[in-house]
Amino acid sequence: MKKLLYLTLFILLAGCSSGGSRNMDYDAFGAYWFQGKAEINTYALEQYRYGEKRNGEAVLIFVTEDFSRKKQVKLDNPQDNEDDAQKVLKLNLTKKFVTGIYPYSMMLSVFTPVYDHVPAVKVTASVQEWCGHTFTQLNRKDGKYKARQFSYFEQDGDKEISLDAMPEDNLWTLLRLHPNQVPTGEVQLIPALLDQRLTHEKLEAEEAEISINPAKKSMAGFAEADLQVLEVRYTSYPRTLRVFYTSAFPFEIAGWEEVRTLRNGQQEVSRATRKAKMVTDYWTKNKNEHEPLRRELKLK
């Protein structure tokens, strides 16, 4: 009964959304994403940093939640202000790896409306390591993004700028809504915030080309015939992203590649390959007795 109520509300809101509804299979989406649980995916990570490949772990967590249109934060009591509430699909992506003696901890969050046919309303990224930490936030206002950068490093922070382009990071959540939501061809993109923090490239819109094609290789646990690949190639920014995902709903992410082309033409290819998946209300699994669940997720 609770699932049916969520699904009915989803369809009603999709029909009256001011931003226009997305062209999606609402029945399938609601049955999977409105269970009151999150989808947790863990990955074996190969991350290049300082010219060397590092082994680590990555996690992708996807979950729907109620978001404030005005404040662009998670609502504590959405039932008290239904006009302000909008359902979003949230991605939390984490990467952890070690460079020599010291560790890196990176996190990206993306909040994309489920009903309104608009890009992510908010994107945040943070990096912590022993030298210091950085934080970037994008808020969508009046069709553009207000970007704020805060950093330990002089070159990066502190800055506030306006950007008129879609964030590359939004492609992850659009893909999970439905691949038909991903724009293809020549587009203006804000490159991935975590990549920008590692490379210290200037934060600005870049020309890119997006394509979706059948995958030409298999990945652990996934046959080649079942996979598609979303590819982002930048014209002048030295980055290519490939996201491998299942061609059938719910469009699970099998892994990805991030290619950085150095000035000498050499390429550094960082990769992530899925190890495990779990659908659960993880926020209730916070006691010592729940630690064995990490073994099921193949986390260290």
Q: Is residue 264 part of a domain?
A: yes
Q: Is residue 198 part of a domain?
A: yes
Q: Summarize pLDDT for 213-223 with one digit per residue, the tens.
A: 999 999 988 99
Q: Is residue 219 part of a domain?
A: yes
282 Cα distance to chain centroid:
18
Q: Summarize pLDDT for 156-203 with one digit per residue, the tens.
A: 879 999 999 999 999 999 999 999 999 999 999 999 999 999 988 899
Q: Is residue 290 part of a domain?
A: no
Q: Is residue 141 part of a domain?
A: yes
pTM of the model as a whole: 0.92
Domain with 41, as residue range(s), is 2-281
Indicate the number of domains in the chain.
1
Give pLDDT < 70 ranges for the chain.
1-21
Q: Is residue 131 part of a domain?
A: yes
Q: Is residue 26 part of a domain?
A: yes
Closest CA to 136 of 89, 67, 197: 197
* Residue 26, pLDDT score: 80
* Residue 191, pLDDT score: 98
Read off the tokens for 52.
Answer: 């060397």
Q: Is residue 167 part of a domain?
A: yes
* Residue 13, pLDDT score: 41
Query: Cα dihedral angle (163, 166, 171, 175), rounded to 10 degrees?
Result: 150
* Residue 10, pLDDT score: 42
